[in-house]
Chains A and B, each alone.
Chain A
Amino acid sequence: MTNIAATAAAPAETAALPTRLAKGFVDRLVIIVPYLWLLFFFLVPFIIVFKISLSQTAISMPPYTPVLDFSDGISGFFAGFRELNFDNYAWLTQDALYFNAYVTSLIIAGISTILTLIVGYPIAYGMARAPATIRPTLLMLVILPFWTSFLIRVYAWIGILKPEGLLNQLLLSLHIISEPLVILNTYTAIFIGIVYSYLPFMVLPLYSSLEKMDHSLIEAAQDLGCPQISAFWKITFPLSLPGVVAGCLLVFIPAVGEFVIPDLLGGSQTLMIGKTLWNEFFSNRDWPVSSAVAVILLLVLTIPIMFFQQAQAKAQEQGK
């Protein structure tokens, strides 16, 4: 089929070939830019971290061996290369600590993502349905917190949540509770911190997909007698799915490696992978093991997301 079509079109195209070639080159050049970006800011750092994860600790500068360089010529480089091994990865399997830390982090990030979605969706929906004149203002309000340091905002939550804090004072004075609630230094405080900090990352993609939606679809559904709630689940929600997925990924991925929020708001008993990595890197000065922890974390995050995207692409094709 394609062959016949191509042959048929050939005479007409021959004349335009040089310009087409040039255009193809420009197109490719444009594509090269993001690939170079990925190469320099993702692949190269990853290879450096991966290489360190195959090294051993040493009391030196930098604190691992071998350091691959060409100071001893090419043979020195390859001699160093042969010293690399996977011992650090074997080490990670010998202590349940690392496995538990990964699992805890994934669970905390998962719960936080769902909570952020539940809080963020109505906000984004409200913004998208608001009169077009005030939408820029609403958008501004969502972005506004970024103007203050993230650290200060998380610190502010300590003042709100602590036993003598604003929240407890308010609830006590309203006689809703008789004893101060213990929220600070618990998992609840971590969830509050993550939902608060990452909310804009959920709201913005949701808003952009909801705003694009053609409202006449809902009107049509209502004209045909579809109740509002079921119109939401049958039309609005499925159409906003790309926004939901983007928002969830933007919240989930950084939340897994989150360090500051559990450190400041969570209790000491919270075992997350960020803290485990910190301990390996700073307390044990074991750059190789901490690099191995980081590489595994990357795999834990990227592999499921790749499968998920593939499955989505397939589903979309079938849908068409």
Chain B
Amino acid sequence: MIRKALWLSATSVLLTLFTVSGHAEDRVVNVYNWSDYIDSSIIDDFTKKTGIKVVYDTFDSNEILETKLLAGGSGYDVVVPSANFLARQIQAGVFQKLDKSKLPNLSNMWDVISERTAKYDPGNEYSVNYMWGTVGLGYNVKKVQAALGTDRIDSWDTFFNPDKLAKLKDCGVYVLDSPADIIPAALKYLGLDPNSTSPDDIAKAQDALLKVRPYIRKFHSSEYINALANGDICLAVGWSGDVFQARNRAEEAKQGVEIGYSVPKEGAQMWFDQMAIPADAPHVADALEFINYMMTPEVIAKSSNYVLYANGNKASQQFIDKAILNDPSVYPDEETTKKLYTVAPYDPKTQRVITRTWTKIVTGQ
């Protein structure tokens, strides 16, 4: 991290020198996005078209991004936090309002998604959707067939029913190490409000998770991609795009591992990754231009075709590969979309209860 930061600052020093030495018009935008989350030709195209240099850096957890933003002076112009993190970062004063007159491509956005992201960012004043997806069940088709006698999983029951999960114990079950994704799923399965912050409800979710705890091999938020792709595990509760990545890696490896992904019929949590500009961003005008470019239908479609996530851009859908657009696990049909839910960010007190409950579930203490 430190080395990367040093490298970055060295780069910006070099760029500054370069600017001074002649190209007074040289413009830069520092982008901080999730790893493996863009088709890199998009960045080259942007530079070719606008002459703005992109310094592109990546992170792999919201927490790391948040810590940099809260410490201040990150030097980034465009960052891409998930919506529930974004919400409390807005409260903390991390971001600046977007000048919408500089974002004509906003007209391409999809109201179905904008309505939902407004729950985190009222009026979408601070952010624009980049990609969105669901929290669901990724599984090894052959191993699940062998253990459960079915090659399709479509319900949370496969995970929360101790009798069923016990059968998958030996082939391996991984779960996201992320209470904000798993506890709402448990509440949903129990027929409770996934947004509930009542200690009683959270305790019920804890009981449900403790019942299946003995059959879970590990809680981790990224290892399951490789574990699924290598055939080391047969079930993972994970993020849609990660499971698709595992599916692609498994296909490339040609070891006969086949990965499926299911949005459980009871309903699944939607998440959103949002582009936003830090309040202390050094290149605001360039950042706005970058965000506007990313809302060009052809551009964001190219990104979706590459990373296999759905995006919040309605106009881009005609440019998205039919196989992706018609895949209900990427773009769920209307019926399923109705059942998808969002979870509001927790206040600090509830967050503490949730984290403590999670430690109890994960470590037994």
A164 touches B359 (CB 8 A): no
Partner pick for A61 among B64, B94, B363, CB 8 A cutoff: B94
Q: At the interface, yes or no: B21 with Cβ under 8 Å from chain A?
A: no
Closest CB in chain B relative to A276 CB, distance in Å = 8
Which of B69, B218, B352, B363 is most buried by chain A, counting CB atoms within 10 A of its CB?
B363
**In B347-365, which residues have CB < 8 Å from any A CB?**
348, 351-352, 355-356, 358-359, 362-365
Knowing A61-B93, A164-B232 touch, does A97 contact B359 (C-beta < 8 A)?
Answer: yes
B94 nearest CB neighbor, chain A only? A61
Partner pick for B220 among A60, A61, A268, CB 8 A cutoff: A268
A271 touches B351 (CB 8 A): no
B226 nearest CB neighbor, chain A only? A158
Type the 1/0 row for A280-314, where 1 means its CB is closer than 8 Å to any CB of B.
01111110000000000000000000000000000
Closest CB in chain A relative to B81 CB, distance in Å = 13
A57 touches B348 (CB 8 A): yes
Give the residues in chain B near A164, CB-CB below 8 Å: 232
Give the residues in chain A near B102, CB-CB below 8 Å: none
Q: At the interface, yes or no: B122 with Cβ under 8 Å from chain A?
A: no
A267 nearest CB neighbor, chain B only? B218
Knowing A59-B92, A62-B72 touch, does A279 contact B363 (C-beta < 8 A)?
Answer: no
B364 nearest CB neighbor, chain A only? A269
B356 touches A59 (CB 8 A): no
Q: At the interface, yes or no: B128 with Cβ under 8 Å from chain A?
A: no
A100 touches B365 (CB 8 A): yes
Size class of the B contact interface (CB-based, 8 Å): 20 to 34
B231 nearest CB neighbor, chain A only? A164
**In A245-290, which residues have CB < 8 Å from any B CB?**
263-264, 267-271, 276, 279, 281-286
Give the residues in chain A near B72, CB-CB below 8 Å: 61-62
Closest CB in chain B relative to A230 CB, distance in Å = 46
Which of A264, A268, A276, A286 is most buried by chain B, counting CB atoms within 10 A of its CB?
A268
**In B159-183, which residues have CB < 8 Å from any A CB?**
177, 179
**In B210-232, which residues have CB < 8 Å from any A CB?**
216-220, 223, 232
A97 touches B365 (CB 8 A): yes
Which of B64, B72, B359, B364 is most buried by chain A, counting CB atoms within 10 A of its CB?
B359
Q: At the interface, yes or no: A80 with Cβ under 8 Å from chain B?
A: no
B63 touches A185 (CB 8 A): no
Knowing A100-B365, A268-B216, A268-B219 touch, does A59 contact B355 (C-beta < 8 A)?
Answer: no
Bound-state CA distance A95–B362 (Å) is: 16
Type the 1/0 row for B91-115, where 1 means its CB is closer than 8 Å to any CB of A.
1111000000000000000000000
Closest CB in chain B relative to A215 CB, distance in Å = 44
**In A56-81, which residues have CB < 8 Å from any B CB?**
57, 59-63
Knowing A61-B70, A268-B218 touch, does A283 contact B355 (C-beta < 8 A)?
Answer: yes
Bound-state CA distance A95–B355 (Å) is: 13
Q: At the interface, yes or no: A163 with Cβ under 8 Å from chain B?
A: yes
B365 touches A268 (CB 8 A): no
B70 touches A62 (CB 8 A): yes
Partner pick for A284 among B67, B355, B363, CB 8 A cutoff: B355
**In A119-146, which residues have CB < 8 Å from any B CB?**
none
B91 touches A59 (CB 8 A): yes
Give the residues in chain B near A62, CB-CB below 8 Å: 70-72
**In B23-66, which residues have CB < 8 Å from any A CB?**
61, 63-64, 66
B356 touches A95 (CB 8 A): yes
Give the residues in chain B near A263, CB-CB below 8 Å: 220
Q: At the interface, yes or no: B88 with Cβ under 8 Å from chain A?
A: yes
Give the residues in chain B near A283, CB-CB below 8 Å: 63, 179, 351, 355, 358
Give the residues in chain B near A57, CB-CB below 8 Å: 348
Closest CB in chain A relative to B149 CB, distance in Å = 23
Bound-state CA distance A100–B216 (Å) is: 23
Knowing A270-B363, A282-B63, A284-B355 touch, does A162 contact B93 (C-beta < 8 A)?
Answer: no
A285 touches B66 (CB 8 A): yes
A59 touches B365 (CB 8 A): no
Give the residues in chain A near B179, CB-CB below 8 Å: 283
B92 touches A61 (CB 8 A): yes
Partner pick for B67 among A100, A269, A282, CB 8 A cutoff: A282
Give the residues in chain A near B216, CB-CB below 8 Å: 268
Give the residues in chain B near A286, CB-CB below 8 Å: 348, 352
Give the residues in chain A near B363, CB-CB below 8 Å: 268-271
B356 touches A60 (CB 8 A): no
Bound-state CA distance A59–B351 (Å) is: 13
Give the residues in chain B near A268, CB-CB below 8 Å: 177, 216, 218-220, 362-363
Bound-state CA distance A238–B17 (Å) is: 60
Give the residues in chain A near B92, CB-CB below 8 Å: 59-61, 63
Residue contacts A-B, CB under 8 angstroms, 11 given:
A60-B92, A60-B93, A61-B70, A62-B70, A63-B70, A97-B365, A162-B232, A267-B218, A270-B363, A282-B61, A283-B179
Given contacts A59-B88, A268-B177, A282-B61, 11 further A-B contacts (CB under 8 A): A59-B91, A59-B92, A61-B72, A62-B71, A63-B70, A97-B359, A185-B217, A264-B223, A269-B362, A279-B355, A284-B348
Q: Which 3 A-B pairs have the closest CB atoms?
A: A282-B63, A268-B219, A271-B363
Mark A residues whose CB is within 8 Å of B: 57, 59-63, 95-97, 100, 162-164, 185, 263-264, 267-271, 276, 279, 281-286
